[in-house]
Chains A and B, each alone.
Chain A
Amino acid sequence: GEKVEQHESTLSVREGDSAVINCTYTDTASSYFPWYKQEAGKSLHFVIDIRSNVDRKQSQRLIVLLDKKAKRFSLHITATQPEDSAIYFCAARDTGANTGKLTFGHGTILRVHP
Chain B
Amino acid sequence: GPKVLQIPSHQIIDMGQMVTLNCDPVSNHLYFYWYKQILGQQMEFLVNFYNGKVMEKSKLFKDQFSVERPDGSYFTLKIQPTALEDSAVYFCASSLGRRTEVFFGKGTRLTVV
Using a CB–CB cutoff of 8 Å, the interface residues on chain A facing chain B are 6, 32, 34, 36, 41-46, 49, 89, 95, 97-107
Instruction: Known A95-B99, A105-B42; judge A44-B56 contact (CB<8 A).
Output: no
**Are B106 and A100 within 8 A (Cβ)?**
no
B interface SS class = strand
Interface of A is mostly: loop
A-B contact count (CB 8 A): 62
> In the complex, are the beta carbons of B91 and A44 less than 8 A apart?
yes
A101 pairs with B42, CB closer than 8 A? no
Evaluate whether A43 and B104 lie within 8 angstroms (CB atoms) in the complex, with A100-B33, A106-B42 already known: yes
Contacts of B41 in A (CB 8 A): 106
Mind listing 22 A-B residue pairs with CB under 8 Å?
A6-B42, A34-B102, A43-B104, A44-B104, A45-B104, A46-B101, A46-B102, A89-B42, A99-B48, A99-B50, A100-B48, A100-B97, A100-B98, A100-B99, A101-B33, A101-B48, A102-B33, A102-B102, A103-B45, A104-B42, A106-B41, A106-B42
